[in-house]
Chains A and B, each alone.
Chain A
Amino acid sequence: MKPLLVRLLQDGPVITDGAWGTELQARGLAIGDFPDVWNLSHPDRVTEVARAYVEAGSQIILTNTFGANRIRMADHGAPEQVAEINRRGAQLSIQAAGNRASVFASIGPTGKLLMAHEVTLDEVRAAFVEQAQALAQGGAHGLVIETMSDLDEAKAALDAAQRTGLPVVVCMVFDAGREKDRTMTGATPEQVARELTGAGADVIGANCGLGIEGYVPVCRRLKAATDLPIWIKANAGLPTLVGGNVVYQTTPDQFASHVPALIEAGASFIGGCCGTNPSFIRAVRDVRGPLPSAERLIARSTRGEPGHPAT
């Protein structure tokens, strides 16, 4: 296991962050606008979101770079800005994190289907190489490939991300099939675990989906099929319309009430996806219990335990 992961995991489950898009919208991002572009146009607001998660207790925060790959950005007319958006995205989260959190930079899907021949595997891999390199240049401590529906695309992204030498998390969406426990292409948690472990991921997991409850059994099945740590970031259920506004009905406390089950099922990294915000992270943190104090961490690192980078 990579040293950073050893260090993060030695005190039990690690708290990650929640949704970014809706947080940016709350700060003025127009509906339908591409959030990632804000890394260049509104860096202060992006940093605010990152800081809100650090203050809520996130030990790992992500970056505002989910959609910043060349293929997806071509639809938004800014492919030439890809590298800069990613570099800045990583830098903004690093700034907000200070020495209080690690930054795992977000890599989302291209939005095109390999199996429909809308894009080639080479194009997909090249787009992810470009993004991963820029995120590494921006100083990211790790990379998170997330919201993947197709194992082939996920593995292309993993291949690209591994070239940076950073720890790589790969997580997929399980929301298809009769039991809603398959990926869009029909892969089971066991298949996903086997293939991503075999391909050399450092952490595997599940994100987005239909809600946190459904991810407890998915987490258990992933865990049973791999030796790698498991990463879970679930949605706050499905949204409903209230007075013309889209609202997620799951409250932070309801969300957090499933966290013990998730830990029991083997989750090592826990956070939220669509519909969650810093209040959800605070609630998860309260359930997770107190974190080790900074003094203890420092004392331990001076004893030279394995996995502590020389700082």
Chain B
Amino acid sequence: MQEYKALHDAILSGDAATARAVTEKALAASADPLRLVNDLMVPAMDEVGRRFECNEYFVPELLISARAMKAALELIRPLLIARGDEPAGRVAIGTVKGDLHDIGKNLVAAMLEGGGFEVIDLGVNVSPEQFVKAVREGKANVVAMSALLTTTMPAMKTTIEALEQAGLREKVKVLIGGAPITQKYAEEIGADGYSDNAPAAVSLAKKQLALGA
């Protein structure tokens, strides 16, 4: 795989064009798509997360790296699906009802996709019923909710209650985030996890699904 290390480096530097070109070349040379993901792309995104933790990377760098990852994944995912490989998990993500802020939600969605998750993006102002439907019909096993406003935070609790009433609460892990959210709030409303940044949301989702980070 080391001959394709340029893929790792392209993701790390956020160079989508190179990431795509190297992936095309690798696939044309019959490289194993799953090994491209596990040996090069996931380690690159792990390094992106590490650099974020160390104040070397900030949101712009996360975004361009996630995009480079996505460019490569678009070529690889159809091959994985064709041979029956399942994604790491299916995440139904959205900004809660009454809230139209999507910067954080979009960033977490991009990072989750980069982390190998299939992401069902429900958008903004998402009602509890829409989350329930995505779990029931979209077979999501993670629900990720975002809120920027203190006034819309309580919709997270309402959504968890709706999942309970639908008998789906045990089937999903509920993760929450957003500027006013805290670990304490996550515990109070019975969410499974909270993260204060996008890279950590990916490791949190993996940990919750017992996939190993």
Q: Which residues of A contact B (CB under 8 A)?
A: 21-22, 25, 31-32, 75-76, 111-113, 115-116, 175-179, 182, 184-186, 238-241, 244, 246, 248, 274-275
Residue of A25, A31, A175, A244 contacting most chain B CB atoms (<10 Å): A31
Question: Contact at B100–A75, with CB atoms within 8 Å?
Answer: yes
For the complex formed, measure the closest distance between the CB of B171 and the CB atoms of chain A, giving whole angstroms.
Answer: 25
Can you list 11 A-B contacts (CB < 8 A)?
Answer: A32-B98, A32-B99, A32-B125, A32-B151, A111-B100, A116-B63, A176-B58, A179-B55, A240-B185, A241-B185, A246-B153
Q: Scoring B residues 54 to 75 as 1 if CB is less than 8 Å from chain A, else 0, what string do you get? A: 1101111001000000000000
Q: A75-B124, A76-B100 are in contact. List 19 more A-B contacts (CB 8 A).
A: A22-B150, A25-B151, A32-B97, A32-B99, A32-B152, A111-B100, A115-B63, A178-B54, A182-B55, A184-B59, A186-B57, A186-B60, A240-B182, A240-B184, A241-B153, A241-B154, A244-B157, A246-B151, A274-B150
Q: Scoring B residues 80 to 121 as 1 if CB is less than 8 Å from chain A, else 0, what string do you get? A: 000000000000000001111111001000000000000000
Residues of A within 8 A of B99 (CB): 32
Number of interface residues of B (CB under 8 A): 31
For the complex formed, measure the closest distance between the CB of B71 and the CB atoms of chain A, giving whole angstroms.
Answer: 14
Question: Contact at B97–A238, with CB atoms within 8 Å?
Answer: no
CA–CA, A115 to B110, complex, Å? 14
Residues of A within 8 A of B54 (CB): 178
For the complex formed, measure the closest distance between the CB of A208 and the CB atoms of chain B, giving whole angstroms.
Answer: 8
Chain A's closest residue to B54 (CB) is A178
CA–CA, A264 to B204, complex, Å? 41
Determine whether B188 belongs to the interface, using a CB cutoff of 8 Å to chain A: yes
Determine whether B31 belongs to the interface, using a CB cutoff of 8 Å to chain A: no
CA–CA, A22 to B151, complex, Å? 8
Partner of B60, one of A32, A115, A175, A178: A115
Q: A76-B100, A113-B103 are in contact. Are A238 and B59 (CB under 8 A)?
A: no
Question: Contact at A185–B59, with CB atoms within 8 Å?
Answer: yes
CA–CA, A246 to B188, complex, Å? 12
Residue of B100, B157, B184 contacting most chain A CB atoms (<10 Å): B100
Q: Scoring B residues 179 to 191 as 1 if CB is less than 8 Å from chain A, else 0, what string do you get? A: 1101011001100
CA–CA, A186 to B60, complex, Å? 9
CA–CA, A179 to B60, complex, Å? 18
Question: Contact at A241–B59, with CB atoms within 8 Å?
Answer: no
CA–CA, A239 to B102, complex, Å? 20
For the complex formed, measure the closest distance between the CB of A125 and the CB atoms of chain B, giving whole angstroms.
Answer: 19
Partner of A239, one of B60, B125, B180: B180
Partner of B189, one of A113, A115, A241: A241
Question: Contact at B182–A184, with CB atoms within 8 Å?
Answer: no
Residues of A within 8 A of B63 (CB): 113, 115-116
Determine whether B32 belongs to the interface, using a CB cutoff of 8 Å to chain A: no
CA–CA, A21 to B99, complex, Å? 14
CA–CA, A239 to B101, complex, Å? 18
CA–CA, A115 to B63, complex, Å? 8
Q: A32-B98, A241-B188 are in contact. Are A177 and B58 (CB under 8 A)?
A: yes
CA–CA, A76 to B101, complex, Å? 12
CA–CA, A238 to B185, complex, Å? 11
Question: Contact at A186–B58, with CB atoms within 8 Å?
Answer: yes
Determine whether B129 belongs to the interface, using a CB cutoff of 8 Å to chain A: no
Question: Contact at A177–B55, with CB atoms within 8 Å?
Answer: yes
Residues of A within 8 A of B185 (CB): 240-241
Partner of B179, one of A111, A175, A246: A175
The 8 closest A-B pairs by CB, nearest first: A32-B98, A186-B58, A246-B150, A31-B151, A115-B60, A239-B150, A75-B100, A177-B55
Residues of A within 8 A of B153 (CB): 239, 241, 246
CA–CA, A240 to B153, complex, Å? 10
Question: Contact at B98–A111, with CB atoms within 8 Å?
Answer: no
Residues of A within 8 A of B150 (CB): 22, 239, 246, 248, 274-275
Residues of B within 8 A of A186 (CB): 55, 57-60
CA–CA, A209 to B124, complex, Å? 23
Question: Contact at A246–B154, with CB atoms within 8 Å?
Answer: yes
Residues of B within 8 A of A179 (CB): 55
Q: A32-B97, A75-B100 are in contact. Are A176 and B154 (CB under 8 A)?
A: no
Chain B's closest residue to A115 (CB) is B60
Determine whether B164 belongs to the interface, using a CB cutoff of 8 Å to chain A: no
